[in-house]
Amino acid sequence: MYAIVDIAGQQFKVQKSQQLFVHRLEGNEGDSVNFDKVLLVDNEGKVDVGMPTVKGASISAKIVSHLKGDKVLVFKKKRRKGYAKLNGHRQYLTKIEIQDIKS
Protein backbone atom coordinates (compact mmCIF):
# COMPACT_ATOMS: atom_id res chain seq x y z
CA MET A 1 0.00 0.00 0.00
CA TYR A 2 1.31 3.40 -0.94
CA ALA A 3 0.03 6.94 -1.33
CA ILE A 4 0.99 10.16 -3.08
CA VAL A 5 0.76 13.02 -0.58
CA ASP A 6 1.43 16.77 -0.66
CA ILE A 7 3.68 17.74 2.27
CA ALA A 8 4.80 21.38 2.61
CA GLY A 9 4.27 22.08 -1.09
CA GLN A 10 6.08 18.97 -2.39
CA GLN A 11 4.61 15.65 -3.51
CA PHE A 12 5.98 12.40 -2.10
CA LYS A 13 5.23 8.72 -2.67
CA VAL A 14 5.02 7.23 0.83
CA GLN A 15 4.63 3.77 2.35
CA LYS A 16 4.22 2.62 5.93
CA SER A 17 7.44 2.71 8.03
CA GLN A 18 9.22 4.82 5.40
CA GLN A 19 11.45 7.67 6.56
CA LEU A 20 11.85 10.79 4.44
CA PHE A 21 13.15 14.34 4.57
CA VAL A 22 10.69 17.21 4.04
CA HIS A 23 10.89 20.98 4.41
CA ARG A 24 10.91 22.09 8.06
CA LEU A 25 7.62 21.32 9.85
CA GLU A 26 6.37 22.86 13.05
CA GLY A 27 6.46 20.59 16.06
CA ASN A 28 8.95 18.94 18.37
CA GLU A 29 10.80 15.68 17.93
CA GLY A 30 8.52 12.77 18.79
CA ASP A 31 5.31 14.67 17.94
CA SER A 32 2.87 13.14 15.49
CA VAL A 33 1.56 15.05 12.47
CA ASN A 34 -1.29 14.33 10.06
CA PHE A 35 -1.40 15.13 6.34
CA ASP A 36 -4.78 15.23 4.63
CA LYS A 37 -3.74 16.39 1.14
CA VAL A 38 -3.63 12.83 -0.21
CA LEU A 39 -3.67 12.84 -4.01
CA LEU A 40 -3.66 9.08 -4.69
CA VAL A 41 -3.99 5.86 -2.69
CA ASP A 42 -3.06 2.38 -3.99
CA ASN A 43 -4.38 -0.44 -1.80
CA GLU A 44 -3.12 -3.75 -3.31
CA GLY A 45 -4.05 -2.76 -6.85
CA LYS A 46 -7.20 -0.77 -6.01
CA VAL A 47 -6.31 2.80 -6.95
CA ASP A 48 -8.22 5.82 -5.65
CA VAL A 49 -7.39 9.06 -7.45
CA GLY A 50 -8.48 12.35 -5.90
CA MET A 51 -10.09 15.31 -7.62
CA PRO A 52 -7.86 17.02 -6.37
CA THR A 53 -7.62 15.05 -3.09
CA VAL A 54 -8.98 11.71 -1.91
CA LYS A 55 -11.87 12.31 0.50
CA GLY A 56 -11.39 10.76 3.94
CA ALA A 57 -7.78 9.77 3.32
CA SER A 58 -5.01 10.87 5.66
CA ILE A 59 -1.41 10.07 6.47
CA SER A 60 -0.11 10.02 10.04
CA ALA A 61 3.60 10.45 10.67
CA LYS A 62 6.02 11.00 13.54
CA ILE A 63 8.72 13.68 13.59
CA VAL A 64 12.04 11.91 14.06
CA SER A 65 14.42 14.90 14.02
CA HIS A 66 15.07 18.42 12.75
CA LEU A 67 18.30 19.01 10.83
CA LYS A 68 19.98 21.04 8.11
CA GLY A 69 20.72 19.75 4.61
CA ASP A 70 24.01 19.80 2.74
CA LYS A 71 25.55 23.13 1.83
CA VAL A 72 24.82 24.38 -1.68
CA LEU A 73 27.23 26.95 -3.11
CA VAL A 74 25.90 29.59 -5.52
CA PHE A 75 28.66 31.29 -7.53
CA LYS A 76 27.96 34.21 -9.87
CA LYS A 77 30.55 35.78 -12.14
CA LYS A 78 30.66 38.19 -15.07
CA ARG A 79 33.63 37.95 -17.40
CA ARG A 80 36.06 40.86 -17.57
CA LYS A 81 33.97 43.00 -15.19
CA GLY A 82 35.61 42.17 -11.88
CA TYR A 83 32.33 40.83 -10.51
CA ALA A 84 32.27 37.57 -8.56
CA LYS A 85 29.91 36.63 -5.75
CA LEU A 86 29.76 33.45 -3.68
CA ASN A 87 26.77 32.56 -1.52
CA GLY A 88 26.08 29.46 0.52
CA HIS A 89 22.75 27.94 1.58
CA ARG A 90 21.68 25.11 3.88
CA GLN A 91 18.02 24.08 3.81
CA TYR A 92 16.22 23.39 7.10
CA LEU A 93 14.73 19.89 6.96
CA THR A 94 12.59 17.60 9.08
CA LYS A 95 12.98 13.82 9.07
CA ILE A 96 9.62 12.06 9.45
CA GLU A 97 8.54 8.42 9.66
CA ILE A 98 5.22 7.37 8.16
CA GLN A 99 3.11 5.58 10.78
CA ASP A 100 -0.18 4.83 9.01
CA ILE A 101 -2.06 5.38 5.74
CA LYS A 102 -5.84 5.67 6.06
CA SER A 103 -7.99 5.63 2.94
Q: How far apart are the C-alpha atoms of 102 and 8, rounded to whole Å? A: 19
Domain boundaries, the chain: 2-102
Q: Give residue 33's pLDDT.
A: 96
Per-residue confidence at 6, pLDDT binned at 50, 70, 90? very high
Q: Give residue 103's pLDDT.
A: 82
User: pLDDT of 27-71, one tens digit each?
Assistant: 999 999 999 999 999 998 899 999 999 999 999 999 999 999 999
Q: Model pTM?
A: 0.84
Q: How far apart are the C-alpha atoms of 87 and 73, rounded to whole Å? A: 6
